[in-house]
Amino acid sequence: MIRLLIVDDSALMRRFLGRIFEAEPDFEIASARDGAEALDMIRDFAPHVVTLDITMPRMDGLACLDRIMVEHPCPVVMVSALTEDGADETLRALEMGAIDFIPKPQGTISLHADELAPLIVERVRAAAAARVPRSRRLAERVRFRAESHAARSSQSARPVASKADFQLSDDCVVLIGCSTGGPPALDAVLSGLPGDFPWPVVVAQHMPVSFTGPLARRLDKLCAVSVVEVTKPTPLEAGHVYIGRGDADVVLTRRNKVLTAIAMPADPEHRWHPSVDRMVRSAMEHVTASRLVGLLMTGMGNDGAATMAELRSRGGHTIAEAKQSAVVWGMPGELVKLDGAVDVVELPRIGERLMELAR
């Protein structure tokens, strides 16, 4: 049985979530009205996963999350309003160690039950099986490692499970796909890249539209590379990172012979958006495979695995995040199963590996 603790000051939300999981045969449920009550219950109930509202009296969700990560580390899924304010708080929670987030129903809750229930169950079930991040300060550790690496004159060590050396041209494009656990993983990787990184980077991170803009702005403040959300046709430039707009797909095309990222309406053939598969497929249509580097990081499902495996077979370079560091080893694990990863690298070393390839 999966022990689930639902933490929300709204009795209506507690009932809504409780009924969803009572219909599942493998969940045991308890509930708390605020963060302080949740901390008391965690000691005895020992939940496998917690759903945590952000705005609550006495002790809010962020304060409670911080205590949980220090005192009783376990997977936490934030219950978030799909607004920009909600996005900023949720991104902060993910940085602090939350595994994922689920949308808070707007308006009459009962009208959204059938639509949201499968998504909520899937995400909470995946979070219950997820690896709790070892550190809430991973990005800072990566920055320190990158600075120390640059200061050393000795040649850096090779990454884990490197299978081959590729000759990459000066005008490559890096394609990154991620989902659950992706925002802090992106911070960890991108913060290790210098502002003069010689290639553009395009990112498909599964997220709703109200979150990708705040994510891009947050990363832009934290990283030396420039980070923007793709909201209009945007020519790719070296040293820039392009975050696909949520609830849409980011694709690459050529306009006046210039490689350009554009936001396209979500393709219903793909389940998750922005779609990693569609991004990589569009890149292979306009860029020689030997000029593409595909990176698949933490996330449930298999989005991007088949197309990145094809990219490798065509002569591109592919990297899968190692199981030891991935919050959810779904997407990168599927790439490894298909023998589609040239390198399998733990998260703290991925930025380093990209720099090695660029050199």
Q: Which among 179, 210, 282, 325 is annotated as catalytic?
A: 179
Contact 99, 132 (CB under 8 A): yes
Nearest CA-CA partner of 51 in 70, 71, 87, 27? 27
Which strands form 248-255's sheet, in the order they lie side by side?
234-235, 258-265, 248-255
Residue among 48, 206, 240, 317 flagged as catalytic: 206
Residue 199 sits at the vertex; the CA angle it makes with 196 and 205, to the nearest 5 degrees, is 110
Q: Return phi, psi of residue 149, to 5°.
A: -65, -40
Asked whether the beta carbons of 309 and 339 are under 8 A apart, the reply is yes
Distance CA 94, CA 62 (A): 10
CA atoms of 125 and 2, how far apart (whole Å) = 8
Options 303, 317, 325, 343, the catalytic residue: 303
> Which string of DSSP letters, residue by residue, matches 200-251?
-EEEEE---HHHHHHHHHHHHHH-SSEEEEESS-EE--TTEEEEEPTTEEEE
Distances in whole angstroms, Cα of residue 218 to Cα of each of 31, 205, 326? 32, 14, 21
Q: Which of 139, 142, 144, 102 is nearest to 17 (CA)?
A: 102
Residue 206 annotated as catalytic: yes
Angstrom distance (rounded) from CA 240 to CA 236: 7
Under 8 Å between Cβ of 338 and 302: no
CA distance 33 to 16: 14
Positions marked catalytic:
179, 206, 303
